[in-house]
A = this chain, B = another copy of it.
Amino acid sequence: VPRDSKDRMVRSAASLIGSRGVSATSFTEVLAASGSPRGSIYYHFPSGKEQLTRDAVQLVAGHVLARQASCRATTPRGVLDCFIGMWREVVVASHGSAGCAVAGVAVDTTPDQADLLDLVRASFRSWVDLLADQFAATGLHAGRCRPVAVATVAGLEGALILCRAERGVAPLDTVARELARLLPGRGRED
């Protein structure tokens, strides 16, 4: 199957971009990680690196969206746990070194790459939208859904950065607990 080669490249790119940003991710590394020959790049990605980057962002954005959409939680808390839990896995497995490719692109994108930033924005918005919908569906007060969803995504991305620095999951767990406090629940405890 010829598609396999391209897929491996995109997957490798997504992983590398999450770990070190776009600029620090060279074609050479992507090729090495995916085992593809050098000349194949412009066959699969005629527009070069930008196209590979776009594909990588779309891959992880879509993957996260799909996985969260399949969440069958019945409470806001369940929705939150589902979202955080998905990321927690990779942080634990990589001792914090794995990151989010969408954030990786957001961070080292210059103003002249507007279309790439547009894609990043769309990705984040799709997550926020889905989370807000799921919060609403599980009974969260209408006016709270979007703010909490935004805080969730922001908290997650920020926590991923702290996890890299700390080389562990601790910050993500702390942030997750605080995010949970934004949801109605077992009454006030502070």
Name A's B-contacting residues (CB within 8 A).
Answer: 19-24, 97, 99, 103-104, 106-111, 117, 120-121, 124, 141, 143-144, 146-148, 150-151, 153-159, 161-162, 164-167, 171, 174-175, 177-179, 181-182, 184, 188, 190
Contacts and interface: CB of A to CB of B under 8 A. Distances in A.
Number of copies: 4
Contacts of A147: 174, 177-178
Instruction: Tell me the dominant secondary structure on chain A's binding face.
Output: helix
A190 to B, nearest CB: 5
A111 B20 CA distance: 9
Contact of A111 (B21, B22, B97): B97
Contacts of A104: 107-108
- Which 8 A-B residue pairings sit nearest by Cβ, starting from the closest? A158-B158, A21-B108, A154-B158, A23-B23, A157-B158, A151-B178, A23-B24, A121-B165
Contacts of A120: 164-165
A187 to B, nearest CB: 9
Contacts of A111: 97
A66 to B, nearest CB: 21
